Amino acid sequence: MKPLFEFFIKLCILSVILWGIIFTVLGPGSADLYSVFLAWIMVVSNTAVGYLLFEYALDKESALFTKVVFGGLIVRMLLMMVIIAVVIFRHLAVINDFVFSFFAFYCIYVIVEILGYQKKNKQKKNIA
């Protein structure tokens, strides 16, 4: 199976599991699901873009790889900070639910992103 497809399948499976846990653990009205969903969308899109940048830069020369991966990380983080600031200052979500959900999702999905990087590197070494 191609690593890109496998990564997105794992992302989907993890998302289904997490949302299943969220719906079973949180009682009705205990948390604002819109805030949780907004945080989830932000983190999943950040993770997907990060992996796609890594996938693009992997076979490039070292200098370009570094620029794409680390430059992409900086741009993604700045964009996330701007979006978070807009959500908080415009009161687009319940702040406590949003921030807690964002932090929890980010911690989980960054692990998935790193594991995806490792698997892709291992497959590249096996081919070479």
pLDDT band at 128 (very low <50, low <70, confident <90, very high): low
Per residue in 69-122, pLDDT tens?
A: 999 999 999 999 999 999 999 999 999 999 999 999 999 999 998 888 888 777
Reply yes or no on whether the pLDDT at 1 is more than 60.
no
Residue of 112, 84, 110 lying closest to 98 (CA atoms): 84
> Is residue 118 exposed (0-12), middle (13-18) or buried (19+ Cβ within 10 Å)?
exposed
Domain ranges for the chain = 3-23+31-127
What's 8's DSSP letter? H
Q: Output the six-digit token pair for 82.
A: 């701007």
Q: What average pLDDT score do residues 60-66 get?
A: 92
pTM: 0.87
29 dihedral zone (left: phi>0; alpha: psi -120 to 50; beta): left
